[in-house]
Structure 1
Amino acid sequence: MADSGRTAEPQRIVGEDFSDAVLVGQEWVDREFERCDFTDADLGLLRTRRCVFTECTFTRTDFAESRHRASAFRSCRFDRALLRDSTWEECSLLGSSFVQCRLRQWTVRETDLTLVGMGRADLRRADLRGIRFRESNLSEADLRGCDLREADLVGARLLGTKFDEADLRGARLDADGLAHASFAGARVDLGTALAFAEAKGLRVE
């Protein structure tokens, strides 16, 4: 297990075990972590800037009230992690997966979620304006009441996804997604409304 009390660390860390480490309130800048294990680690109030995490494991990791700016989490696994009140700005989560994570009050801004796995995620009423979800798995995710204006959902798997009461004005969705998700009471622009009608087999004349 990593020594949580240390103050000096190398800039690139490969294969280290941070299980159960208490790293509350630390600030990490320009660090790289590859294939590291953060199982049960306490990363509450952590600050990262321009950090890169590649194929790292975050099982039951506590990210509560942490802040991440211009950091990348590539092909990482978040399993039952706590992301309550955390903020992610200008980040990339390319290819990462989220399994049974607590995502309520999770703030993401100008962040790339391409190819993420977020099936059955609970993101109700989240502010997801402009977020890139291209080719992501959002099957059975709960996005009711979300602000998804200008979001990119092209190629996303949306089987059983709930967009009820969401704001999708300016969002980009393809016909397959429109056909398989729920949009009751959602706000859309005219182009999306026409595409939705066609996806449902209606003839617009």
Structure 2
Amino acid sequence: MPEPIEDVTFHDEDWYAEDLADRHFVACAFHRVDLTEATSRGATFVGCTFGDVQFNVSRHTDSAFTRCTFIRCNLFEAEFTGCKVIGSTFDRCDLRPLTVTGGDWSFVTLAGADLRGGRFTGVRMREADLSGADLSGATLTGVDLSDVQWRGTRLSGADLRGSDLAGLEPTAVQRAGTIIDVFQAATLARALGFDIRD
């Protein structure tokens, strides 16, 4: 792995379609950097800040964005595969449509985020903050959603089949048309105080 780049601020740079494979950034700041169609494999960003950065149609594989802050970034059709985004915060970002496959997004803050139509598959999202987020029509299948903050989350028409919903309070979310499996239905019924018997 190359030497890490630490405490550097990047302003108004054109990194269009840049290959960020194996790059390592620590406590760096990126402001108005164009990462449209950029790719990263094995890249690491630790404690970095991204402000008004364009991630449109970018592809990230086995990369890490840990304890990072994303402010007013555009992630239109961005894809994250096997990435670690642990403890990061997304603030006023354009996240539609976002595709996340595998990886670990635990402790991520997505409060109030517009995630309509997003696809999250096989990803760990333990204790993520999804309060007030709009996940209408989104797909979250096989996702570890245990102990997520759900208050005011919109799940109408979302597909949650195969996901761990431990800690979900059904009355705290908008749930019309939300798709769940039989096992999840029993779990949620117990959460509502029902005694399920044959």
User: Could you state the TM-score of these two structures normalised by the residue count of structure 2?
Assistant: 0.93
Off by >3 Å, runs of 4+ in structure 1: 175-179, 201-205
Superposed CA offset, 1:73-109 (max 9, x none): 0000001100012111111100000011000022211
The 1:177–1:133 alpha-carbon spacing in structure 2 relative to 1, beyond 3 Å, is: farther
2:173 matched residue in structure 1: 181
Q: Superposed, which structure 2 residues align to 1:43-192 within 5 Å?
A: 43-192=35-184
Which residue identity does 1:56 align to in structure 2?
A: C
Aligned to 1:22: 14
Instruction: Give the aligned length.
Output: 196
- Partners of 2:96 and 2:22 lie apart in 1 by 28
Residues 41/19 of structure 1: CA separation in 2 closer, same or farther (3 Å cut): same
Q: SS where residue 128 of structure 1 aligns? A: strand
Q: CA deviation at 1:176?
A: 4.2
> What amino acid maps onto 2:70 in structure 1?
F
Percent identity between the two aligned chains = 36
Q: How much does 1:126 deviate?
A: 1.4
Q: Tell me the alpha carbon deviations over residues 44-66 of structure 1, each in whole angstroms, 9 at most, x when there is no partner.
A: 12111101000100011111111
| CA root-mean-square deviation | 1.5
For 1:91 and 1:62, how far apart are their aligned partners in 2? 18
Alpha-carbon separation, structure 1, partners of 2:169 and 2:80: 26
Task: Specify which structure has the higher proportion of strand.
Answer: 2
Decide whether the 8 Å contact of 1:119 with 1:140 is kept in 2: yes
**Uncovered stretches (5+) of structure 2, i.e. residues with no partner:** none
Residue 36 of structure 1 aligns with which residue? 28
- TM superposition score normalised by structure 1: 0.90
